[in-house]
């Protein structure tokens, strides 16, 4: 029996993503990014992102359908990121998903953005191990999650208490005069630097929790650079980038391994935009190998926000025969990760998937 064809729509931040997935097979992944429009502001501007989603949605849908070689009528279910994310941006994606579901007469699934970042790994590495620990790292999130079942149960273990790791990358890049977003240019600059050149702080490194803190690290980098500039000395950009990146990767991978050990889990999944970082991937592989933990990290193109990840989670939910969301579901900018599927309208209480 052929698996259902699921349309996935992602608009939580500055990427308009439309994906088509059948089972664990990715058929199309159309992404339109508005990052260039935000670069001059040094960060994402919510209203600009929302308008960009409006302009990109239908063209992205058309590209995805054409790339997959299917017709809109072939779609069996529609999944959309209902939260968390930027409220206005989410509204565009949720409204589009409702329109497609209603027009096509297909069920709608409002799904959790963070759970989708976990589910996308199935498109590359097959069925997820159960249970697993997930480390999700992006511009808006730095979270450790216990994942007994990605379609029904995701348990928060720890999160950042201030800046997310990706946000710290953006702010440090600005201090160093590197372009936005900061992740790729810092990763590139760090290749020519010494990660041990500068001893930057590791927030919450020994506090015995699974939480993160990157605000102090960001501030420490800024003060170090300002001190060099005030003294009339050149700033060694490569060394600063490498030392900062090492501090981030050190904390993230240490806590991820601790989470696996604390919960007796032998599988770690890393997702989110920062999961594309070369040092994070390399250090995670080394530490997981030493700890006897199996590591799964999707290819970089699947780590950043995209429609494929939403379609992947939707396909998993549909395959279980779980009930769909009502057409009146809201976009929830603070949707907790424990709610994998939104099952209530604005007047009711959302139930966990």
Domain ranges of the chain: 5-120+306-342, 129-300
235 class by beta-carbon count within 10 Å (0-12 exposed, 13-18 middle, 19+ buried): middle
**Measuring CA to CA, which residue among 37, 28, 20 is closest to residue 310?**
20
Query: What pLDDT digit, counting tens, does each position of 171-200 carry?
Result: 999 999 999 999 999 999 999 999 999 999
pLDDT, mean of residues 32-40: 85
Calculate the CA 67 to chain-centre distance: 24
8 Å CB contact between 276 and 303: yes
Query: One fold for both 5-120+306-342 and 129-300?
Result: yes
pLDDT, mean of residues 119-137: 97
Q: 0.85 cut: is pTM over it?
A: yes
Question: Is the per-residue pLDDT at 352 higher than 50?
Answer: no
pLDDT, mean of residues 217-229: 98
Residue 305 DSSP label:
S
Is the bond preceding 131 in cis, omega lying within 30 degrees of 0? yes
Which residue intervals of the chain are DSSP H helices? 35-38, 46-68, 87-104, 113-119, 122-125, 165-175, 183-190, 215-230, 237-262, 278-291, 300-303, 307-319
Q: pLDDT grade, residue 139 (50/70/90)? A: confident
Please state, in angstroms and rounded to a whole number, the distance separating the CA atoms of residues 69 and 213.
45
- Which stretch of 127-131, 253-257, 310-314, 343-347 has the lowest confidence by average pLDDT? 343-347
Tracing tokens 């969301």 back to the chain, one arrives at 325
Contacts of 175 (CB under 8 A, 6+ apart): 221, 222, 225
Query: What pLDDT digit, counting tens, does each position of 248-297 carry?
Result: 999 999 999 999 999 999 999 999 999 999 999 999 999 999 999 999 99
Please state, in angstroms and rounded to a whole number, the distance separating the CA atoms of residues 311 and 127.
15
Regarding predicted confidence, which is higher, 78 or 138? 78
pLDDT, mean of residues 120-148: 95
The confidence score (pLDDT) of residue 351 equals 42
Give CATH for domain 129-300: 3.30.420.40
Calculate the CA 302 to chain-centre distance: 9
Please state, in angstroms and rounded to a whole number, the distance separating the CA atoms of residues 142 and 328.
30
Question: Is the per-residue pLDDT at 224 higher than 80?
Answer: yes
Q: pLDDT grade, residue 343 (50/70/90)? A: confident
Query: Which superfamily, per CATH, for 5-120+306-342?
Result: ATPase, nucleotide binding domain (3.30.420.40)
């Amino acid at each position: 029996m052929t698996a259902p064809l699921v349309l996935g729509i992602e608009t939580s931040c500055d990427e308009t993503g439309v994906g088509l997935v059948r089972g664990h097979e990715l058929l199309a992944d159309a992404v339109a990014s508005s990052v260039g429009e935000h670069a001059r502001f040094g960060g994402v501007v919510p209203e600009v992102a929302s308008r960009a989603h409006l302009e990109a949605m239908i063209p992205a849908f058309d590209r995805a359908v054409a790339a997959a070689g299917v017709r809109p009528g072939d779609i069996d279910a529609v999944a959309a990121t209902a939260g968390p994310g930027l409220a206005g941006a989410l509204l565009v994606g949720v409204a589009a998903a409702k329109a497609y579901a209603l027009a096509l007469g297909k069920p709608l699934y409002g799904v959790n953005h963070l759970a989708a970042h976990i589910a996308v790994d199935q498109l590359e590495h097959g069925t997820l191990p159960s249970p697993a620990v997930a480390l999700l790292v992006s511009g808006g999130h730095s979270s450790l999650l216990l994942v007994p079942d990605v379609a029904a149960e995701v348990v928060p273990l720890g999160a950042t208490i201030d800046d997310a790791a990706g946000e710290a990358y953006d702010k440090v890049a600005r201090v160093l005069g590197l372009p936005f977003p900061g992740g790729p240019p810092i990763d590139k600059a760090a290749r020519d630097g010494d990660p041990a050149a500068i001893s930057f702080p590791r927030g919450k490194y020994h506090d015995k929790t699974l939480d993160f803190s990157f605000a102090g690290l960001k501030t420490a980098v800024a003060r170090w650079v300002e001190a060099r500039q005030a003294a009339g000395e050149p700033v060694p950009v490569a060394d600063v980038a490498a030392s900062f990146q090492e501090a981030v990767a050190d904390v993230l991978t240490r806590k991820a391994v601790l989470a696996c050990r604390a919960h007796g889990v032998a599988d770690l999944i890393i997702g989110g935009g920062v999961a594309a970082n070369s040092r994070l991937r390399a250090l995670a592989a080394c530490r997981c190998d030493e700890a006897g933990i199996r590591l799964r990290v999707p290819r970089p193109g699947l780590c950043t926000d995209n429609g494929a990840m939403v379609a992947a989670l939707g396909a998993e939910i549909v395959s279980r025969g779980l009930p769909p969301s009502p057409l009146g579901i809201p976009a929830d900018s603070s949707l907790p990760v424990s709610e994998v599927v939104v099952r209530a309208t604005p007047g009711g209480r959302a139930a966990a998937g």
